Structure 1
Amino acid sequence: MKLIVAITGASGVALGKKFVDCLPEDIEVHVIVSDNAFTVESFENRKVTLHASEDIAASVSSGSFRVDATAIIPCSMNTLAKVACGISDNLATRVAAVALKEQKKLLLAPRELPFSAIALENMQKLAALGVIIAPPVMGYYSDVSSLEEMEEFIVGKWFDVLGIENSLYERWEG
């Protein structure tokens, strides 16, 4: 599997990094970081290909690069609005536009709370196009006892919707 992970904004970068760190080693990972995100975290624990947000001509910006899925974690409201309006002015919004046109899986993890009516409208518009809107929502039913376990639950749910096998959280046995 070939996966693009874009990290936009500075708030919530730890979840984006955890998502990347928890990925199975056999997944080829291309990471796009905004300037704000890059100053907050680095990616030294895992082999990834880093792309600068302003590098709109990077290999991942083309549909012929053939990725299986794209995830924007966290997804700033600015990025969400641009994707909803078809604006591709940086690499993160460009790879999202490519995912839409190529009909590939696209997961957006909006990070702001509460959501404005405009943000909800943008999310609805994108969801109608098949985009997976998956904010990092705590699952109290997951019987976790620490913040780290909660983060693993959230990352595990994101992996699930992208078709990535994982055992990051305890599954319901019924």
Structure 2
Amino acid sequence: MRLVVALTGSSGVIYGIEILRILRRLDIETHLIISKWGERNIQIETDHPVDFVKSLASKCYSNDNMAAPIASGSFKTDGMVIVPCSMKTLSSISNGYDDNLISRAAGVCIKESRALVIVPRETPLSRIHLHNMIRLAEIGVIVLPAMPGFYHRPKSINDIIAHIVGKILDQFGIEHKVYRRWGDAA
């Protein structure tokens, strides 16, 4: 399996870091793009150096590199996850404004009918945000807001993070035991 992973300038980069950790552990090939503000949020929200986060991926690209393999539909992937997905990035994708590698790679997934999962992290949501999400959902993009459930009785922030990460993995059909599912024994 080969997935594109993007981290953008929204709060919640820990979700993206954790998905990279798990995909690496599962030996899934990852192609990573981090926006400028995604890098800044790694510095603000975590104790991880940006280079450490990049080291979790199989391959990394600059968001300015429009010649990267993932900018072309002829480069086969199983899909893409943008986690967290800023409202700027969401708007760019929704409006087909492929001005950087993240939005271009997402556009490739859309045009090639590949799985695209966006994990918006904003609250409250404006009507503009909602319209952009609806537009994407109507064409098959999975909109998976970072809204954890609590039926698994999280005991820590890591448990809450794991719930969202597990939901993302589910969208790609990746088997995992990242969180306790509804109906599973405690």
Smaller-chain TM-score range? over 0.9
The CA deviation at 1:14 is: 1.5
Is 1:29 equivalent to 2:30 in the alignment? yes
Q: Deviation of residue 15 (structure 1)? A: 1.3
CA distance in 1, matches of 2:54, 2:82: 20
Distance in 2 of aligned mates of 1:171 and 1:8:
28
Alpha-carbon distance, 1:56 to partner: 1.1
Does the alignment pair 1:124 with 2:134? yes
State yes or no: 1:16 paired with 2:16.
Answer: yes
In structure 2, what is the Cα distance between the partners aligned to 1:170 and 1:73?
A: 21
Partner of 1:164: 174
Aligned length: 174
Q: Report the secondary structure of 2:60's partner residue.
A: strand
CA contact (8 A) 1:21 1:45 kept: no
Residue in structure 2 matched with residue 87 of structure 1 by the alignment: 97
RMSD of aligned Cα (Å): 1.4
TM-score normalised per structure 1? 0.95
> In structure 1, which of residues 88, 103, 111 is the aligned counterpart of residue 113 of structure 2?
103
Bigger mean CA offset, 26-35 vs 36-45: 36-45
Q: Report % sequence identity.
A: 40
Q: Which runs of 5+ in 1 are unaligned?
A: none
3-state secondary structure, aligned to 1:63: coil
Distance 1:78 1:47 in 2: 24
**Which amino acid in the other structure matches residue 85 of structure 1?**
N
Structure 1 residues 44, 93: closer, same or farther in 2, change over 3 A? closer
Residue 4 of structure 2 corresponds to: 4
> Which aligned pairs between 1:31-46 and structure 2 lie closer than 5 A?
31-39=32-40, 40=42, 41-42=49-50, 43=53, 46=56
The amino acid that maps onto 1:53 is: N
Query: For 1:41-99, what per-residue CA distance to the aligned partner results, in whole angstroms no more than 9, with x for missing partners?
Result: 52266342111111111111111110001000000000000100001000000000000
1:44 to 1:165, Cα distance in 2 relative to 1, 3 A: same
Residue 65 in 1 paired to residue 66 in 2? Answer: no
Runs of 4+ residues over 3 Å off in structure 1: none
